[in-house]
Chain A
Amino acid sequence: MSVAAHNPSRGRGRRSSPLSWRWGDRLVLLCAWAAGVGLCLIAGAIVIYMGYRGVEYLRPSLIFSRPQTGTSQAGSGGILDPILGTLLLTVIGIALAVPLAVGSAVWIAEYGQGGRGRQSLARVVESSVEVVAGTPDIVIALFGLAIFQLGLFAPLSFTAEGGGVYGRSFLAAGAMMSLLALPPVFAATRDGMQAVPAHMREAAFALGKTRITTIRRVLLPSVRSNIATGVTLGISRIIGDTAIVLVLLGGTHQIEPQNSVPVLGLLRGTGTALTSFVYENSPAGEGAAPQKAYAAAFVLLMFVLGLNLIVGRIGREKPLTSVV
């Protein structure tokens, strides 16, 4: 984006020097600089401080050892289970969100234009995704608690010996995480699909392809980078979320599968994620181990930074649709 092209105050030509401006304008100039530079400094301070603490407290042995099951993490014990928990939640969340989001976005972009009934349904779906995007994560967590403690969903977590459905498991938390990832993937796919130039579709139709084949073979591959950006944004939201993990993951220090059935037992089990681990070890949770909290927070921040870099990289790739 060439700012110089649209900005008449840049580039050549006579510029009025700030020294000739009124005091009010000079004050605003100063404040604008202060705001911009200040925010950069704050971001830098956060990264540097967390980096300093992370290097101070994070040792490679921590990443590969499991947390203690006891009351306090202040002694030995690592952060392997929180890392695995975060990864597992991300996988579940994305696996549930992507089909739903891409399917709906494709429907809206391709089929939702024609006819009164379809247009109103399209509007309903778009508004619903907006509502989900704006819903606070703690409300989504409470909604999850309400659903998964119904008897109907007992197989998705487990039942206590007194008859109450526990309602907290990786599946429960992962399902609600998918609601977090849904809006970014949906928006990215829909924008990508709408940006595909008409001639690509027309060419496919001219060759005799049906609509669904066009979507599968021509359009979806061309919006791959959009979907990838959306998915990366969704992953970023999932790994950074704390409220859903605190409420719906059961809060055990280690990952505890429900039974020994290979995959289902793990999904129905309880565990911990990096965000809840940081919370529990800070002075707001059980608090006895701020060093572990710093170490886990550093790992979390590294994940987020990495995802940011990926989004930047993908964004810079030229999608097919820009070639006209």
Chain B
Amino acid sequence: MHRIRRLSAAFAVTGVLGVAAPAVANATHLVTISGATASYPLVSLLAQKYVKTHPHKLKFKIAQGGAQIGINDVAAGRVTIGDVSREPQTSDPAGLVFYPIAKYAICVITNKANPLTNLTSSQVVSIFTGKLRSWSQVPGATAGGTIDLISRTSVAGVLTSFQSLLLEGKKVSTIATEEASEGLLKQQVENDPNSIGFVSNYQADLGGVNSVGYNGVACNKSTAASGQYAGIARFNEVTKGKATGAAAAFIGWIRSSSAARKIIASQWIPVA
């Protein structure tokens, strides 16, 4: 009786170890990523393609939160790579390395019921800094009433890039509603006829909102690729120190392989 019980216990233990051992032997490395909501669609597609072309090498867990969250997480060592949709700032922690992987355009968007075709740079500045508060003061706008400014929370890289590229370095007014992600900003603009906001060209091209030209240049992939459009920013992958191991493999693949380039070119602009 006792011997049977002891034997069965022994079998159970070896069984578990036996299953576990080969799993441990070729353990896939887990790459965790967090950061910008604007680059999330791109990085998800890239990660999926990487897993398909390099099976059993890497596994990815991609979270969002905003570019600053990515910077803080990677600096604290909590994630392997940070997605950042802006250039390095002086306030960023030391020791971070930025690897640009794609370019994107920042488009000003309004509701479809308010088909504004163009805004000059001074108009954009007055609207977003809160000097102009009523649509009646904006020529070409069919909406009436108060301008509902929809912006991003302070952690957004797109916000920082927008402020430096299209807002002449000024800050968006504090009156603006702050949304936590690109998707939410676009949704808010879709639902509110009096709203105006800014998103990456990927979101604007998804449809449902009206893309506004800047200084006479429409905002889309071709004007961004040709460099005509003024508001071009870069997606960066950020690591603490130079990328090593799994991170280096992934980032290297993004920057060099043709499959990755094809994905980037589909909705965004390749870097060089």
Do A and B interact directly, with beta carbons closer than 8 Å? yes
The residues of A with any CB-CB pair to B shorter than 8 Å are: 69-72, 158, 160-164, 166, 250-252, 256, 258-262, 265, 270, 283, 286-288
Across-interface contacts of B73 in A (CB, < 8 A):
164
Which listed segment binds A: B74-82, B130-138, B153-161, B252-260? Answer: B74-82
The residues of B with any CB-CB pair to A shorter than 8 Å are: 16, 19-20, 23, 27-32, 40-41, 44, 48, 61, 63, 73-74, 76-80, 181, 183-184, 187, 240, 245-247
Separation of A166 and B63 alpha carbons in the complex (Å) = 12
- Assess the A261–B23 pair: CB atoms within 8 A: yes
- Assess the B80–A288 pair: CB atoms within 8 A: no
Quote the shortest CB–CB distance from A255 to chain B (angstroms).
Answer: 13
Separation of A91 and B247 alpha carbons in the complex (Å) = 36
Interface SS of chain A: loop
- Assess the B77–A163 pair: CB atoms within 8 A: yes
Quote the shortest CB–CB distance from A257 to chain B (angstroms).
Answer: 10
Across-interface contacts of A164 in B (CB, < 8 A):
73, 76-79
Q: Which 6 pairs from chain A and chain B are nearest by CB? A: A164-B78, A162-B77, A160-B32, A161-B80, A163-B77, A260-B23
Separation of A286 and B65 alpha carbons in the complex (Å) = 11
- Assess the B183–A72 pair: CB atoms within 8 A: yes
Across-interface contacts of B23 in A (CB, < 8 A):
259-261, 265
- Assess the B44–A161 pair: CB atoms within 8 A: no
Task: Decide: A286 near B183, CB < 8 A? Known: A162-B74, A164-B76.
Answer: yes
If A261-B19, A261-B20 are given as contacts, then 20 extra A-B residue pairs at C-beta distance below 8 Å, sorted by A number, are: A69-B44, A69-B48, A70-B41, A71-B41, A71-B183, A161-B80, A161-B245, A162-B32, A162-B74, A162-B79, A162-B80, A162-B240, A164-B76, A166-B61, A258-B30, A259-B27, A260-B19, A261-B16, A261-B23, A270-B61
- Assess the B44–A70 pair: CB atoms within 8 A: yes
- Assess the A286–B32 pair: CB atoms within 8 A: no
- Assess the B183–A162 pair: CB atoms within 8 A: no
Across-interface contacts of A162 in B (CB, < 8 A):
32, 74, 77-80, 240
Separation of A250 and B78 alpha carbons in the complex (Å) = 14
Across-interface contacts of A72 in B (CB, < 8 A):
183
Across-interface contacts of B30 in A (CB, < 8 A):
158, 160-161, 258
Across-interface contacts of A262 in B (CB, < 8 A):
19
Across-interface contacts of A71 in B (CB, < 8 A):
40-41, 44, 183
A–B Cβ pairs within 8 angstroms, 7 of them: A71-B41, A160-B80, A252-B61, A261-B23, A262-B19, A287-B183, A287-B184
Most buried by A among B32, B240, B247: B32
Across-interface contacts of A256 in B (CB, < 8 A):
61
Quote the shortest CB–CB distance from A80 to chain B (angstroms).
Answer: 20
Separation of A265 and B24 alpha carbons in the complex (Å) = 12
Separation of A223 and B187 alpha carbons in the complex (Å) = 53
Instruction: Pick the residue among B16, B79, B181 that contacts A160 (CB under 8 A).
Output: B79
Most buried by B among A161, A256, A258, A260: A161
Across-interface contacts of B78 in A (CB, < 8 A):
160, 162, 164, 166
- Assess the B80–A286 pair: CB atoms within 8 A: no
Separation of A262 and B17 alpha carbons in the complex (Å) = 11
Across-interface contacts of B74 in A (CB, < 8 A):
162
Separation of A287 and B20 alpha carbons in the complex (Å) = 39
- Assess the B19–A161 pair: CB atoms within 8 A: no
Across-interface contacts of A250 in B (CB, < 8 A):
61
Quote the shortest CB–CB distance from B200 to chain A (angstroms).
Answer: 13
Across-interface contacts of B181 in A (CB, < 8 A):
286
Q: Which residue of A lies closest to B181 (CB)?
A: A286
Q: Which residue of A lies closest to B45 (CB)?
A: A70
Q: Which residue of A lies closest to B241 (CB)?
A: A162
Across-interface contacts of A261 in B (CB, < 8 A):
16, 19-20, 23
Quote the shortest CB–CB distance from A102 to chain B (angstroms).
Answer: 27
Separation of A256 and B74 alpha carbons in the complex (Å) = 22
Q: Which residue of A lies closest to B20 (CB)?
A: A261
Separation of A260 and B16 alpha carbons in the complex (Å) = 12
Quote the shortest CB–CB distance from B249 to chain A (angstroms).
Answer: 11
Across-interface contacts of B183 in A (CB, < 8 A):
71-72, 286-288
Separation of A166 and B59 alpha carbons in the complex (Å) = 14
Instruction: Pick the residue among A158, A166, A270, A283 that contacts B184 (CB under 8 A).
Output: A283
Separation of A259 and B21 alpha carbons in the complex (Å) = 11
Quote the shortest CB–CB distance from B225 to chain A (angstroms).
Answer: 23
